[in-house]
């Protein structure tokens, strides 16, 4: 759609020939910006409530920098996942306000005020080795305007540690359970809480873990009700879904505050 067509729609709203809602329907799916190697979806936040996120793995440094530049000009908060220190350093050279989380392998650039939710998301790991995936979930949830409580290293090998933090875990509106090895943590939590659980299998484990497959199958076969499962090591996906659940009932998602 050309600028002239957009102006025509806006003029029709101004003249009372079209409603605001009908204009929004026409504008909802555009525009995207074609930079050759990528089509940057600037209107994703308008359609889904959350701006596009950059998956950095597999992209060259110049490609990531170019995408960030395009998104930065639109004023959106920017999240880049599965990045490296080298990529983050280049982004920080261009945009000094960039925050890099080494554990999560993610960077954040805040262009809008993030006003956090009253309710929070409990992010729980079985072991210390699961923290990188949990941090990816936490960073994702936080940039989308959610309070996060981190409860790390409380797996079934020392289950008394879990009970010590159970009140904090139960206080979350939604729980993200991150575990490798056999992935039993999500099932255990599922039998102790009345909140939805997003289980994240990690690739942490010995040979028969099959790079997370055993944890994935355990979580998929959980007999605890209320447990859903995302892909292996998919902290971003868990944080995104948790954010959507936590924001239900909010009139104005905080990430949309200008």
Peptide bond into 31 cis (omega under 30): yes
* Angle formed at CA 133 by CA 86 and CA 202, multiple of 5 degrees: 125
Domain end, chosen from 56, 81, 111, is at 111
pLDDT given for residue 107 in this prediction: 92
Q: Do residues 124 and 145 share a domain?
A: yes
Decide if 19 is inside a domain. no
How many Å apart are CA 40 and CA 24, to the nearest integer? 20
Residue 228's H or E segment, with its range, is strand 227-229
Q: Do residues 135 and 191 share a domain?
A: yes
- Phi first, then psi: give them for residue 32, nearest 5 degrees: -115, 160
Query: Would you call 41 helix, strand, or coil by DSSP?
Result: strand
Q: Do residues 133 and 243 share a domain?
A: yes
Q: Do residues 142 and 52 share a domain?
A: no
Report whether 184 contacts 190 (CB < 8 A). Answer: no
- Phi first, then psi: give them for residue 200, nearest 5 degrees: -120, 105
| Structural domain count of the chain | 2
* Angle formed at CA 49 by CA 44 and CA 54, multiple of 5 degrees: 50
Report whether 118 contacts 146 (CB < 8 A). Answer: no
pLDDT given for residue 3 in this prediction: 58
| Residues facing residue 230 across a β-bridge | none
pLDDT given for residue 254 in this prediction: 44
Q: Do residues 173 and 224 share a domain?
A: yes
How many Å apart are CA 160 and CA 65, to the nearest integer? 46
pLDDT given for residue 122 in this prediction: 96
pLDDT in tens, the chain (258 residues): 455 667 788 888 888 888 888 887 777 656 776 677 877 777 677 677 777 888 988 899 999 998 888 888 777 788 999 998 899 999 988 889 999 998 999 999 988 777 788 899 999 999 999 999 999 999 999 998 899 999 999 988 888 999 989 999 999 999 999 999 988 999 999 999 999 999 999 999 899 889 999 999 999 999 898 999 999 999 999 999 999 999 887 654 444 444
Q: Which domain holds residue 169?
A: 120-247
| Residues facing residue 231 across a β-bridge | none
pTM: 0.82
Q: What is the CATH number of the domain that holds 225?
A: 3.40.50.1970
Q: Do residues 84 and 146 share a domain?
A: no
DSSP-assigned states of every residue in 81-133: ES--HHHHHHHHHH-TT-EEETTTTEEEE--S-----SSEEEEEESSGGGHHH
Q: Any idea how long the chain is?
A: 258
Q: Do residues 154 and 106 share a domain?
A: no
């Amino acid at each position: 759609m050309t600028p002239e067509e957009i102006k025509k729609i806006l003029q029709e709203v101004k003249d009372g020939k079209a409603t605001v809602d009908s204009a929004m329907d026409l504008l909802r799916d555009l525009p995207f910006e074609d930079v050759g190697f990528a089509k940057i979806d600037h209107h994703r936040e308008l359609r889904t409530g959350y701006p596009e996120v950059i998956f950095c793995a597999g992209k060259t440094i110049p490609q990531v920098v170019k995408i960030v530049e395009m998104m930065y000009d639109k004023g959106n908060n920017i999240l880049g996942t599965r990045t490296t220190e080298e990529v983050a350093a280049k982004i920080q050279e261009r945009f000094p306000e960039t925050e890099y989380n080494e554990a999560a392998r993610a960077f954040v650039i805040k262009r809008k005020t993030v006003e956090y939710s009253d309710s929070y998301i409990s992010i729980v790991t079985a072991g210390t080795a699961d923290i990188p995936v949990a941090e990816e979930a936490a960073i994702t949830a936080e940039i989308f305007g959610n309070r996060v409580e981190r409860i790390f290293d409380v797996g079934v090998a020392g289950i008394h540690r879990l009970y010590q933090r159970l009140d904090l875990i139960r206080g979350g509106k939604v729980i993200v359970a991150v575990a490798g090895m056999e992935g039993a943590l999500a099932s255990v939590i599922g039998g102790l809480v009345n909140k939805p659980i997003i289980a994240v299998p990690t690739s942490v484990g010995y040979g028969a873990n099959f790079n997370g497959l055993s944890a994935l199958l355990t979580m998929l076969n959980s007999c605890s009700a209320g447990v859903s499962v995302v892909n292996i090591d998919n902290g971003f996906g868990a944080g995104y879904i948790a954010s959507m659940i936590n924001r239900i009932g909010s009139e104005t998602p905080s990430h949309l505050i200008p």
